[in-house]
Chains A and B, each alone.
Chain A
Amino acid sequence: MQVGVPDRARSGAAISVRDLHVAYGGTRVLHGVSLDFTPGSFTALLGSSGCGKTTLLRSLSGFVPVQSGSIIVGGNDVASLPPEKRGMAMVFQSYALWPHMTVLQNIGYGLKLRGASKAEIAAKVASMLEFLGLTGYEGRKVTALSGGQRQRVALGRALAIDPGILLLDEPLSNLDAKIRMTMRHEIRAIQQRLGLTAVHVTHDREEAMTMADRLVIMQAGRIAQVGTPEEVYDRPASAFVANFMGAENVLPLHVERSERGASLRAGDATAEIAAEAFDALPAGDAVAYFRDDVARLDATDAPASDDLLVPGRIAARAYPGGVYRYRVEAAGRQITVDDAARHELGTKVGLRIPLQRLHIFPASEAGIAA
């Protein structure tokens, strides 16, 4: 890389969070979160609003006081240190650029604090701007920049101090869709090139999946699941995670266990599963979650083979493009299904769902997610 840009070889710092409790004015927001961030990893904290993901990020950065627990960075517990002593750089959702300063002053602020000379600051800011594709913008007022440019300057300000850890607080949610796509790739590329440890907070599932090596799904101040995008998407650990990751169709089931395996019953439909296929299958009343795009419509009397074939009736149809989207009433539930063929409303159909694509959880647990 050019002079002044953080060198590639330097790697990010490890963070290890242990039993973190955080409360806001009496309301407990984090209930004992423990999490490790390996150097150079990109972790996305994902969850609906109020789940504590932003609070976790802000307690890492020191903006939110920690009740108990520790945050270990480079062997030291930083949980009680003020933000300026933690060596983490944050990119804010609001960009938080200082409107009374130019681009040069914004990016150079951290360098000036560290006693760099005017010439050093100018050189480093120039190479940082080149790195971000904003060459020659030094003298601009930040208020004269577009959203994407502002976010780049905010990123430059964070990167200018050579942080080991980069915290991203929904940095893309104020950008329009097209720029958001480009920025996803840019941030990911920069993080990998510099080997930074990145922690990214977002409520956008796709953004988290495309940017991060690892997802942390949070629910009501606790960690619901940690895993690679594939693990979390294909093998959700709980009904909440399945639902949050887009398996929004819910089908009540009854599971009977036998020596040979288990039999599923959904309404009038039944299916047999070999024992080894579904080891952790609950017994008794259960709930299955599946995505819109895994089910197909078929004739009511088609052979079920290895799928679950639930009889139903088409209640509504829409054409979002490419395929038709149907709302099917089956087993007393409204199910959304995509299918290529056009069917009339009121038609009796068989809802074909591959057994492997069902995420099955005990009914007691599913009550939380519904």
Chain B
Amino acid sequence: MQHSAVSKLKKSLPLWFIAPHLIIFAIFFIIPFFYGIVISLYNWNMFFPDMREFIGFDNFNSILFDQDSIYYKYFWNGLKNTLTFVAISVPLLVSIPMLFALLINVEPKGYKVFRGIFFMPSLLSISTLVLIWRWVLNTNVGILNLTLSEFGFENIPWLADQPYAWFSLAMMTVWWTIGANMIIFTAALKEIPTSLYEAAEVAGANIFQKFLHITIPSLKNPLIYITIMTTLASFNVFGQPQLATGGGPTETTKVLMMYIREIAFGGGRPNPGIATAMAVCLGVIMITISIAQSKIIKRLG
């Protein structure tokens, strides 16, 4: 009798360890995931779920195909702007940290201080980031235009005019987020055996040949990992345009996340069904990219 009670306790033991997390994970992750798919099929009312109305794939139809729907315009404009941000920022967010890592890897005097300086901004919140950069980019009295005017340039409306607005958003994002990628690259560079470089030097390779034929191939795995993680993070872009440009000028930087938030929670008539359908579409795009990534990694070995 007592023995079976003990063995029962032993069997349930793992549950005591993993259950607290699993329960919270189920409530705040699994359930919302499926609940979201349900919401996207309804004309949903956030505060009176009883007033919902099942409409099948109508939400998806109006955002993806119905050219007369205002949500169609919102979705495609938002997606276009998000993709623009991804296309501009990802190459910068991969190449610039790699360059910094190459410089730091030489380990000059005080390289740890430099690494700290480049990393520190990534700990700031988005609001702090934007307050700093709106002031730096201020058209009349910002330090950037003041510096440029010393060299005889006209004042540039960094946040109020294109293509400067995209440039500014990319610039503040680079300043904000390169720290982590730089550290991963630095760690990977350390792993490359110096004998490889020495052999190349004996063979008469110059610095660019060494970079192309030794450094890049050796960095293949971290390079793929960083590219994918950075791409996914960039698809989530919200705070920078929301707070720095407000989506302007003329909604050219209004990214999909801004539309989703506005349609779900903003003023006017909220439409959570439509917003969730948009979120599902964005999510599917991002999942497709992740899967494609793991396939590519597998193929490259």
Pair from one complex:
no
